[in-house]
Amino acid sequence: MRKYLRPRSAGIENRMGFDKKAFRDKFLYPIAVAIAIGMLALVWRFLLSQSSKEWIVSAFTHVGLWLQTPLPLWVTLSAALLVSLSIVVYRKLPSTAAIVEVPEHERKYLEDDFFDIRWRWKYQDGEPINMTPYCPIEQMQLSRGHAMTGSFTLVCEKCNNSYFIQYPDALAAQYAVRRMIDQKIRNGEWREAVAAKAERT
């Protein structure tokens, strides 16, 4: 499962997982604010009820008395247990920052034939990278053959097949392959390539 997840940097919508930020913004913070306002209201009422200037002493006495009031042990224990459990559960929840589903084509569409050559690649942040040419017969990685003006060849050292590439250099050819991969991803043709690969193997 972890294998199929990647950081949110790619900007793809989260489709699963718990949105911790929304939980904090819409639930935790309003409750905290409500509690704070309630406390302020209590303090305000207490201040209004004090006629003399000695309200500070009185306030400390009140707080002191309240702190000395014993709580039943089971209340203390269950409150502590509840708080710890909530913290543990909250921390275990997957955060939307880490849990973003990888699109299907990034898992399945990893090779295709262009210029009669088999190309294999990986994805990084949703972009195909490391487009590498292979001999479609021997599954051997091709090496650089003759260079001409505006074109070059790739050669299989195993079967001596030579493949003509009408681009000035390897980088230009790789960019061309990337554009064709991108197009197939956009128009859905990549599924045909995946089906063809499944038939081969």
Residue carrying structure tokens 């930020």:
21
Residue (155 or 170) nearer to Zn ion, CB: 155
Task: Examine residue 173 and tell whether it contacts Zn ion (CB under 5 A).
Answer: no
Task: Examine residue 135 and tell whether it contacts Zn ion (CB under 5 A).
Answer: yes
Choose which of 25, 54, 113, 138 interacts with Zn ion (CB under 5 A). Answer: 138
Cβ(130)–Cβ(121) below 8 Å:
yes
Task: Examine residue 137 and tell whether it contacts Zn ion (CB under 5 A).
Answer: yes
Binding mask 79-118 for Zn ion (x = CB under 5 A): ----------------------------------------
Residue (143 or 183) nearer to Zn ion, CB: 143
Residue (100 or 142) nearer to Zn ion, CB: 142
Site residues for Zn ion per CB under 5 A: 135, 137-138, 156, 158-159, 161
